[in-house]
A and B are shown apart, each in its own frame.
Chain A
Amino acid sequence: MVDDFHLIELQGVTKDFGDTLALDNINLYVRRREFVTLLGPSGCGKSTTLRIIGGFEYPTEGRVFFDGRDITDEPPYRRRVNTVFQKYALFPHLNVFDNIAFGLRIKKVSKTDISARVKAMLDLVGLKGYEKRGVDQLSGGQQQRVAIARALVNEPEVLLLDEPLGALDLRLRKDMQLELKNMQQRLGITFLYVTHDQEEALTMSDTIVVMKDGRIQQIGTPKKIYDEPKNAYVADFIGESNILPGVFIRDELVEFCGKPFRCVDKGFGSGTTVDVVLRPEDVAVGAVAEESMLTGTVLSTLFKGVHYEMMIDVGCAVLKAHSTVKQEEGSRVGITVVPFNIHVMSRGNAPDS
Chain B
Amino acid sequence: MKKLGLIFVILMLVFLYAPIIVLVVYSFNDSPTRAVWGGFSIRWYIELFHDKSILDALYVTVSIALIATVASTIVGTLAAIGMHSMKPGMQSLYVNVTNLPMLTPDIVTGISLMVLFIFAKFPRGYWTMLLAHITFDAPYVIFSVLPRLRRMNKHLYEAALDLGSTPGRAMRQVILPEIMPGVVTGALLAFTMSLDDFVISYFTSVRSANLSMLIYSMTRRKVPPTINALSAIMFTVVLALLLIINRRDARQAA
Report if A and B touch in the complex (beta carbons < 8 A).
yes
On whether the beta carbons of A82 and B163 are closer than 8 Å, the reply is yes
Determine how close the nearest CB of chain B comes to the CB of A108; give it in whole angstroms: 10
On whether the beta carbons of A91 and B174 are closer than 8 Å, the reply is yes
Which stretch, A63-71, A99-107, A199-207, A220-228, touches the partner chain B? A99-107
- Are A83 and B165 CB-contacts (below 8 A) given A91-B174, A92-B178, A93-B177? no
Q: CA separation between A56 and B159, bound complex, in Å? A: 10
On whether the beta carbons of B165 and A91 are closer than 8 Å, the reply is no
- Asked if A154 is at the interface (CB within 8 A of a chain B CB), the reply is yes
On whether the beta carbons of B163 and A103 are closer than 8 Å, the reply is yes
Residue of A nearest to B153 (CB): A89
When each residue 42-71 of chain A gets 1 if its CB lies under 8 Å from chain B and 0 otherwise, what string results?
000000000000111000000000000000
- Asked if A76 is at the interface (CB within 8 A of a chain B CB), the reply is yes
Q: CA separation between A81 and B163, bound complex, in Å? A: 9
On whether the beta carbons of B163 and A87 are closer than 8 Å, the reply is no
- Asked if A75 is at the interface (CB within 8 A of a chain B CB), the reply is yes
- Are A93 and B155 CB-contacts (below 8 A) given A102-B163, A106-B163? no
Q: Which residues of A contact B166 (CB under 8 A)?
A: 77
Determine how close the nearest CB of chain B comes to the CB of A162; give it in whole angstroms: 9
Partner of A103, one of B158, B164, B177: B164
- Asked if B161 is at the interface (CB within 8 A of a chain A CB), the reply is yes
Q: CA separation between A54 and B161, bound complex, in Å? A: 10
- Are A154 and B161 CB-contacts (below 8 A) given A89-B153, A92-B178, A93-B177? no
Q: Which residues of B contact A154 (CB under 8 A)?
A: 163-164
Residue of A nearest to B159 (CB): A89
Residue of B nearest to A101 (CB): B163
- Asked if A212 is at the interface (CB within 8 A of a chain B CB), the reply is no
* Interface hub of B153, B162, B166, B174 (most chain A Cβ within 10 A): B162
- Asked if A343 is at the interface (CB within 8 A of a chain B CB), the reply is no
Partner of A106, one of B153, B155, B159, B169: B169
- Asked if A86 is at the interface (CB within 8 A of a chain B CB), the reply is yes
Q: Which of B151-189 contact A (CB under 8 A)?
A: 153, 155-156, 158-167, 169, 174, 177-178
Residue of B nearest to A85 (CB): B155
On whether the beta carbons of B153 and A87 are closer than 8 Å, the reply is yes
On whether the beta carbons of B158 and A56 are closer than 8 Å, the reply is yes
On whether the beta carbons of A85 and B159 are closer than 8 Å, the reply is yes
Q: Which residues of A contact B174 (CB under 8 A)?
A: 91
Q: Which residues of B contact A91 (CB under 8 A)?
A: 156, 159-160, 174, 177
Q: CA separation between A337 and B112, bound complex, in Å? A: 84
Determine how close the nearest CB of chain B comes to the CB of A329; give it in whole angstroms: 50
On whether the beta carbons of B156 and A55 are closer than 8 Å, the reply is no
On whether the beta carbons of B158 and A76 are closer than 8 Å, the reply is yes
Q: Which residues of A contact B158 (CB under 8 A)?
A: 54, 56, 76, 83, 85, 89
Q: CA separation between A92 and B152, bound complex, in Å? A: 10
Determine how close the nearest CB of chain B comes to the CB of A292; give it in whole angstroms: 56
Residue of B nearest to A76 (CB): B161
Q: Which residues of A contact B153 (CB under 8 A)?
A: 85, 87, 89
- Are A75 and B164 CB-contacts (below 8 A) given A85-B155, A91-B156? no
Determine how close the nearest CB of chain B comes to the CB of A305; give it in whole angstroms: 38
Q: CA separation between A137 and B208, bound complex, in Å? A: 53
Determine how close the nearest CB of chain B comes to the CB of A281; give it in whole angstroms: 40
- Asked if A15 is at the interface (CB within 8 A of a chain B CB), the reply is no
- Asked if A32 is at the interface (CB within 8 A of a chain B CB), the reply is no
Residue of A nearest to B177 (CB): A93
Q: CA separation between A83 and B162, bound complex, in Å? A: 7
Residue of A nearest to B157 (CB): A89
* Interface hub of B163, B165, B167 (most chain A Cβ within 10 A): B163
- Asked if A215 is at the interface (CB within 8 A of a chain B CB), the reply is no
On whether the beta carbons of B156 and A56 are closer than 8 Å, the reply is no
- Asked if A150 is at the interface (CB within 8 A of a chain B CB), the reply is yes
Q: CA separation between A90 and B152, bound complex, in Å? A: 11
Q: CA separation between A73 and B230, bound complex, in Å? A: 63
Residue of A nearest to B170 (CB): A77
Q: CA separation between A76 and B166, bound complex, in Å? A: 9
Q: CA separation between A62 and B167, bound complex, in Å? A: 25
Determine how close the nearest CB of chain A comes to the CB of B216; give it in whole angstroms: 45
Q: Which residues of A contact B164 (CB under 8 A)?
A: 77, 103, 106-107, 154
Residue of A nearest to B87 (CB): A18
On whether the beta carbons of A54 and B162 are closer than 8 Å, the reply is yes
Q: Which residues of B contact A150 (CB under 8 A)?
A: 159, 163
- Are A83 and B177 CB-contacts (below 8 A) given A77-B165, A89-B153, A107-B164? no
Q: CA separation between A77 and B159, bound complex, in Å? A: 10
Q: CA separation between A253 and B226, bound complex, in Å? A: 106
Q: Which residues of B contact A103 (CB under 8 A)?
A: 163-164
Q: CA separation between A102 and B172, bound complex, in Å? A: 13
Q: CA separation between A81 and B165, bound complex, in Å? A: 13
On whether the beta carbons of B178 and A83 are closer than 8 Å, the reply is no
Give 6 CB contacts A-B under 8 Å.
Answer: A75-B167, A77-B166, A89-B156, A103-B163, A106-B169, A151-B163
Given A82-B163, A106-B169, 15 further pairs, Cβ under 8 A: A54-B158, A56-B161, A76-B162, A77-B161, A77-B163, A77-B164, A82-B162, A83-B162, A89-B153, A91-B160, A91-B174, A93-B177, A102-B160, A103-B163, A154-B164
Q: Which 9 A-B pairs rank lowest in CB-CB distance, beginning with the nearest?
A: A103-B163, A89-B155, A76-B161, A89-B159, A85-B155, A106-B164, A93-B177, A83-B162, A77-B164
